[in-house]
Amino acid sequence: MSERAAPFYCPYCGDEDLRPSEEGGGGSWECRACSRAFRLKFLGLLAPGAAGSTPSPSPSAAPSASDGGTP
């Protein structure tokens, strides 16, 4: 697996004029439009089921007066 990932757009200004930069030890890119340098870092793969997780510890929690609606 390649360690490099090429961004298509600058995350700051959205321009496409990016060029790789060797500053910072690789994986760095420079935007020619806004003169920003940034680095992409691969953090890892998501665990199965991590994407679109809907944490709902209490699905039966009906809206009650505990939220300060009616005393």
| Positions that interact with Zn ion (CB under 5 A) | 10, 12-13, 15, 31, 33-34
- Cα angle for residues 14, 17, 22 (degrees, 5° grid): 110
Nearest distance, CB of residue 13 and Zn ion, angstroms: 3
- Judged by beta carbon, residue 19 or residue 67, the one nearer Zn ion is 19
N-terminal to C-terminal alpha carbon distance within the chain = 59
Q: How many helices (H) and strands (E) does the chain have?
A: 0, 3
Least distance CB 69 / Zn ion (angstroms): 46
CB nearer to Zn ion: give 4 or 32.
Answer: 32
